[in-house]
Amino acid sequence: MKLQQAETMNQRIHTLADVVGKLLVDAFHYLALFAIGGAIAWSAAVAFFAMAEKGHTTIDDILLLFIYLELGAMIGIYFKTNHMPVRFLIYVAMTALTRLLIADVQAHHRLDMGIVLVSGAILLLALAALVIRYGSFKYPSGERHSPIPTQPAETGSI
């Protein structure tokens, strides 16, 4: 009888530990997402107001805002689906490299191998995004988590 009570107590302790552990992990998860999202929004606002204070923007400034937009969208999708959209990281990298390329050309005004290397890296990232997109379309994993809600198919009946 005491052995059965001990096993029951052990199961209850494990269940309680699982519940408390999941609660703490979820709390940290949401706190971290809000903190990262807040930092992105704050950085974007600071950058925007700095542009407004200058009175003009450059292509470099606009690309920086696109980076903030992509990071914010990535956090939003992760918040809704609990899946990290790797393609968005690739888009951020492509935008950052484009920003680097434009800044380099504007600063140095010369053509060199660095431009070819950065352009090749952008092309490689674009191909990686294409492969990931094709792979996720052709070989979907279990559930499909689309960040954009889809419309139900029409049945044709009135």
**Residue 47 belongs to a domain:** yes
Per residue in 4-40, pLDDT (tens digit) is 888 888 898 999 999 999 999 989 988 998 999 999 9
**Residue 145 belongs to a domain:** no
**Residue 144 belongs to a domain:** no
* Percent of the chain surpassing pLDDT 90: 42
Look at the chain and report how many structural domains it folds into.
1
**Residue 157 belongs to a domain:** no
**Residue 149 belongs to a domain:** no
**Residue 104 belongs to a domain:** yes
Q: What is the pLDDT of residue 109?
A: 75
pLDDT at 60 over 80: yes
Q: How far apart are CA 38 and CA 26, in angstroms?
A: 18
Q: What is the pLDDT of residue 144?
A: 52
Q: Which residue from 95, 40, 102, 47 is spatially nearest to 67, judged by alpha carbons?
A: 95
**Residue 86 belongs to a domain:** yes
What's the whole-model pTM score? 0.68
- Domain span at 8: 2-138
Integer angstrom CA distances of residue 95 from 66, 108, 125:
8, 20, 10
Place of tokens 């805002």: 65
Q: How many CB atoms lie within 10 A of CB 88?
A: 19
Q: Which residue from 77, 87, 93, 96 is spatially nearest to 130, judged by alpha carbons?
A: 87
**Residue 64 belongs to a domain:** yes
pLDDT at 49 over 80: yes
